[in-house]
Amino acid sequence: MATVAPSRPVDWSGLAARHWLAVLGLLAMALPTLVSLARGPWSIESGVHGPIVLATGGWLIARRVAEIQAYMRPGNLQLALLGLGLAVPSYAFGRAFDFISIEVAALLLAFVSVGYAYFGVVVLRMLWFPIFYLGFLIPIPGWLLDTVTQPLKLLVSEVVTDTLSLVGYPVARVGVTIYVASYQLLVEDACAGLNSLVSLSAIGLFYVYMLRGSNWRYSMLLLALVVPIAIAANMIRVAALVLITYHFGNAAAQGYLHNFAGMVTFTSALLFIFLVDKILSPVRNALSPGGETAV
């Protein structure tokens, strides 16, 4: 770990007072976007990780304030203005036409551009992970969600149908629609695994960075396991909902138990990631530099 050079404390209030226009500009962009996120993507299952990412990403930056103070050097103003020249019109476009993904991405670009102007490239390079991690705040566009989830929905519905058929349940499927007794269930995006995959990837990435960041090979292995864990967890979720529908009716499966199953699935998958990390301790030791346990 690099030694932080002694530095004079930064007068943040004085800095904000001298550059009040930039502060007001960023706040004018950020506050409406946060409200839109809270009312939209963060209020549904696919965006539950948003507030967690925002809070933990901010903490990752705040914990390195001493290093930021030590290495801050103003960046190239022309490059910063170029970034803002791209971010501000994109933000206005996304805001005006309700493209929340473009709006959030442009807002992050604006913050990075201003950060580069005041703190320089060394600080941005030092904060590469928090910046990348905050990219999980960008909601997945609907067209991409539909494209990616379609094969996952087919996979989940096929595996669930085949498994329940083997144990004697009257289950069949057509595409992503599962038929059980007199009921039919549509495997939607929330049950396909992508929603959990994004949330688990974000939280798993934070976990790996904090605890296993010094061992990049093992970190990549653990992150790769997030994908099958998320898909397997959602297969169990769909199977449980099919069984609830069969034994207790459609009203029971589509009511409180539907949302409860989603929460249980996500929590179980997250705990399973921690368990896998524990089980793979010998692998982690083998992949650590010199064969020693990474801290």
What is the sign of the dihedral through the CA atoms of 241, 242, 244 and 249? positive
pLDDT digit string (tens) for 130-170?
A: 999 999 999 988 777 777 777 888 888 899 999 999 998 99
Structure tokens at 218: 């093992």
Instruction: Choose, from 173, 191, 212, 284, the residue flagged as catalytic.
Output: 191
Told to judge if 237 belongs to the known catalytic residues of this protein, a careful annotator would answer: yes
- Give me the DSSP letters along 87-154: HHHHHHHHHHTT-HHHHHHHHHHHHHHHHHHHH-HHHHHHTHHHHHHHGGGSPPPHHHHHHHHHHHHH
Catalytic-residue membership of 191: yes
Report d(CA 291, CA 269) in Å as an integer. 29
E-strand stretches of the chain = 171-174, 177-180, 183-186
pTM for the full predicted model: 0.79
Domain coordinates of the chain in residue numbers?
Answer: 12-137, 143-291
Contact 249, 258 (CB under 8 A): no
Q: Rounded to an integer, what distance in angstroms lies between the CA atom of residue 39 and that of residue 104? A: 14
Beta-ladder partners of 171 = 180
Q: Each residue of 224-259: pLDDT tens digit?
A: 888 888 888 888 888 888 888 888 887 776 766 666
Residue of 95, 173, 212, 237 marked active site: 237
